[in-house]
């Protein structure tokens, strides 16, 4: 059943991207950002601290605590998974948690690839059939779009940092990708889509986004309920005859999926209610231009470059919606993307909402690839080449200037942003950065040669450029970033001060510290950390600068003297350290 389509693709244009190249690229993107670095502030170290305590006290899994105090959050799943990794993996705690989240990010990329693949298999998504043959084979066409969509996802600027933190956003992203795969694959498979769809919906509910889980499942049920024409076209494309009696079992199967998704929606809502996970609140639309500007800028850079490609897809495939032929291939990712975009405007956490929509945006962006003209592809290539080469060159030059001690204004600004940082040279980080930079040069040389056409080629440089800059940040710039974004320096200074004054010190009381500060002291210091009033006898006490004036009203300070004030590098944040008088 040939459908009018804006995609005109010959078999030559759907050449397969080498699997080793795609797997190597994904491995580099996933691993760099988890390797070598310390836990960062704020969600990263806060989540890890709760996981660490939950691993020691599994009985509190329904109400996780940090140093005995309940954590005010509606996200549970990532705590459970992290605590299980710490408990079962014979590794250092933060390494064990990172191994788990590495696998979670890999699962996200895999689920996105297969989701786009099955979306592109739909009859309405196929390119125009040629009069004398030679058009792209459906399976090859779907595989090529999946390759391009995965590259588009990794090119998203907003994906890099949240997807490499051991926090709730990555868990939510993984569950959203599983749901996209499940809804796309349901017409073709049974067991795996049903399993991953259930896991994704319930996981999204337990990871702090029950509203999004319910909306995604409900949208899927409504789309399947109204997609009789698309479903029958899919069955006929698989070789079934146009016999109403032969189509009845498949029609019943469609309604079975609708009922299953409706039941899953209800189950997620009941689970969220039972565990009191409904914390999402609507926010009024901005009333000032500054707020509108900030939201617009966030949407533009966070979802770049998939948002202009998604808009182009909607425009070029507009006739499919007019004729009701875009149910599976286009309406599913469009519905998910709209839900996340609207939530980004009216929700209380725009970045987290937009992050959940990135797999859907990437799926829509993939359908723009077969409609691009050569001029558009050339613009994407040259724009990516110039921007990312310039950015990487600047990062290398400033790093060399730091290592050489050159007295340049840019070097002075960098050092002023991270006071106390002394440039260090590490061979492992340097060689990793050099290898990825040489890989970028090879990629540029390969892309600028005359090559046979392939739909995924226009996404190679954007994805490679983002990965290059991310790897440079996570290698040659990592010591400076760790110095600025972690609490390692603060914890080390507190530890040295305490041990210099009292070599036999064993414990430390805290009062008025937030979750990130408390988690950092729990992990980075060798002492037993307690909340003030819960230990029998600790001779040392720390508090945040904001609590210093209130401290005499909360604690008897006549027996204490201030031993040090420790500042977090580059921040106004300060921690006051007190010692009990003899």
**Cβ distance 331 to 314 under 8 Å?**
no
10 Å CB burial of residue 42 (0-12, 13-18, 19+) is: middle
SS3 168: helix
Residue 446 has pLDDT above 90, yes or no: no
How far is Cα of residue 294 from the mean position of the Cα atoms in its chain?
21
Q: Which residues have a Cβ under 8 Å from the Cβ of 530 and sit 6 or more positions away?
A: 67, 507, 508, 509, 510, 538
Give 400-403 contacts, CB < 8 A, sequence gap 24+: none
Would you give the DSSP letter of residue 38?
A: P
Q: Which residues sit opposite 66 in a β-bridge?
A: 69
Least confident of 122-131, 376-385, 419-428, 431-440: 122-131
Helix or strand (DSSP H, E) at 105? helix 93-120
Cis preceding-peptide flag for 42 (omega within 30 of 0): yes
- Beta carbons of 459 and 467 less than 8 angstroms apart: no
How far apart are alpha carbons 51 and 57 in whole angstroms?
10
Distance of CA 278 to the CA centre of its chain: 22
Cβ–Cβ under 8 Å, residues 359 and 176:
yes
CB 201 within 8 A of CB 217: yes
pLDDT digits (tens, 9 = 90+) for 38-57: 999 888 999 999 999 999 88
The predicted model scores a pTM of: 0.93
* Percent of the chain at pLDDT exceeding 70: 91
Give the burial string for 307-330 (b: 16+ CB within 10 Å, else e).
bebbebbbebbeebeeeebbbbbb
Higher-confidence residue: 523 or 451?
A: 523
**Model confidence pLDDT, tens digit, residues 193-238:** 999 999 999 999 999 889 899 999 999 988 888 777 776 666 665 5
Strand order across the 560-567 sheet? 528-531, 507-511, 540-544, 574-580, 560-567
**Residues above pLDDT 90, as percent of the chain:** 52
- SS3 labels along 210-249: HHHHHHHHHHHHHHHHCCHHHHHHHHHHCCCCCCHHHHHH
Helix pair angle (244-274, 228-237), 10° resolution: 120
Per the structure block, which two tokens stand in for 149?
A: 């969509």
pLDDT tens, residue by residue, 564-574:
999 888 767 88
The 3-state DSSP class for residue 570 equals coil
Alpha helices by DSSP H, listed for 281-369, are: 289-302, 306-316, 318-322, 332-346, 350-366
pLDDT of 281 reads 59
Quote the pLDDT of residue 552: 82
Which residues touch 20 (CB under 8 Å, ≥6 apart)? Answer: none
Average pLDDT of every residue of the chain: 87
| pLDDT at position 1 | 42
456-459 long-range contacts, Cβ below 8 Å, gap at least 24? 456/17, 456/144, 456/147, 456/148, 456/151, 456/369, 457/377, 458/148, 458/369, 458/372, 458/376, 458/377, 458/380, 458/381, 459/148, 459/151, 459/152, 459/155, 459/369, 459/380
Whether the Cβ atoms of residue 344 and residue 350 lie closer than 8 Å to each other: yes
Q: Whole-angstrom Cα distance, residue 157 to residue 246? A: 48
580 secondary structure, DSSP code: E
Q: Is the separation of the CB atoms in 168 and 207 below 8 Å?
A: yes
Least confident range from 130-139, 439-448, 505-514: namely 130-139
Which two tokens mark 497?
């001060």
pLDDT band at 240 (very low <50, low <70, confident <90, very high): very low
Biggest CA pair distance of the chain: 95
Q: Which residues contact 266 (CB under 8 A, 6 or more apart)?
A: none
574-580/540-544 β-pairing: antiparallel
* Residues in contact with 357: Cβ distance below 8 Å, sequence separation at least 6, in sequence order: 176, 303, 336, 337, 339, 340, 341, 344
138 pLDDT above the threshold of 50: yes
pLDDT of residue 554: 72
C-alpha distances in angstroms, 148 versus 120, 317, 389, 444? 12, 18, 21, 17
CB distance 540 to 494 below 8 Å: no
Query: Is the model's pLDDT at 72 over the cut of 70?
Result: no
Question: Which pLDDT does position 150 carry in this prediction?
Answer: 97
């Amino acid at each position: 059943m040939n459908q009018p389509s804006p995609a005109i693709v010959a078999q030559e244009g759907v050449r397969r991207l080498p699997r080793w190249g795609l797997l190597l690229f994904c491995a580099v993107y996933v691993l760099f950002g988890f390797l070598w670095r310390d836990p960062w502030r704020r969600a990263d170290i806060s989540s890890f601290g709760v996981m660490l305590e939950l691993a020691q006290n599994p009985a509190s899994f329904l109400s996780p605590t940090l140093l005995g105090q309940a954590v005010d959050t509606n996200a549970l799943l990532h705590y459970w998974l992290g605590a299980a990794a710490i408990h079962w993996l014979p590794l250092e705690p933060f390494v064990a948690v990172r191994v788990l989240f590495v696998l979670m990010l890999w699962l996200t990329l895999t689920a996105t690839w297969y989701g786009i693949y099955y979306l592109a298999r739909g009859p309405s998504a196929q390119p125009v059939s040629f009069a004398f043959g030679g058009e792209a084979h459906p399976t090859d066409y779907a595989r090529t779009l999946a390759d391009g969509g995965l590259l588009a996802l990794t090119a998203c600027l907003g994906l890099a940092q949240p997807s490499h933190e051991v926090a709730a956003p990555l868990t939510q992203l993984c569950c959203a990708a599983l749901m996209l795969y499940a809804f796309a694959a349901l017409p073709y498979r049974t067991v795996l889509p049903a399993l991953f769809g259930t896991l994704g919906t319930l996981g999204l509910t337990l990871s702090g986004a029950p509203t999004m889980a319910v909306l995604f499942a409900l949208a899927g049920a409504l789309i399947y309920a109204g997609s009789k024409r698309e479903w029958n076209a899919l069955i006929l494309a698989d070789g079934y005859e146009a016999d109403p009696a032969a189509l009845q079992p498949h029609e019943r199967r469609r309604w079975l999926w609708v009922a299953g998704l409706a039941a899953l929606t209800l189950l997620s809502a009941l689970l969220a209610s039972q565990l009191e996970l409904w914390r999402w609140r609507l926010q009024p639309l901005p009333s000032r231009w500054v707020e509108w500007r900030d939201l617009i800028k966030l949407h533009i850079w966070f979802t770049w470059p998939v948002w202009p490609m998604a808009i182009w897809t909607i425009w070029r495939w507009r006739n499919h919606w007019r004729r009701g032929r875009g149910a599976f291939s286009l309406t599913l990712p469009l519905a998910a993307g709209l839900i996340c975009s609207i939530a980004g405007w009216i929700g209380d956490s725009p970045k987290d909402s937009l992050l959940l929509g990135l797999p859907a945006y990437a799926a829509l962006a993939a359908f723009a690839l077969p409609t691009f003209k050569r001029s558009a592809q050339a613009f994407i290539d040259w724009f990516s080449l110039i921007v990312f080469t310039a950015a990487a060159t600047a990062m290398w030059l400033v790093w060399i200037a730091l290592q050489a001690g050159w007295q340049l204004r840019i070097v002075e600004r960098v050092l002023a942003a991270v006071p106390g940082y002394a440039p260090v040279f590490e061979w492992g980080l340097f060689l990793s950065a050099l290898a990825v930079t040489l890989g970028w040069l090879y990629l540029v040389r390969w892309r600028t040669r005359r090559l046979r056409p392939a739909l995924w080629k226009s996404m190679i440089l954007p994805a490679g450029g983002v990965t290059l800059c991310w790897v440079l940040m996570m290698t040659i710039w990592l010591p400076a970033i760790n110095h600025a974004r972690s609490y390692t320096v603060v914890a080390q200074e507190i530890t040295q001060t305490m041990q210099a004054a009292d070599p036999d010190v064993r414990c430390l009381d805290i009062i008025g510290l937030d979750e990130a500060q408390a988690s950092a002291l729990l992990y980075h210091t060798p002492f037993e950390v307690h909340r003030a009033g819960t230990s029998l006898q600790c001779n040392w006490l720390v508090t945040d600068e904001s609590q210093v004036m209130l401290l005499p009203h909360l604690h008897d300070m006549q027996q204490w003297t201030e031993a040090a004030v420790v500042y977090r590098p580059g921040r106004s944040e300060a921690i006051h350290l007190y010692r009990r008088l003899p």
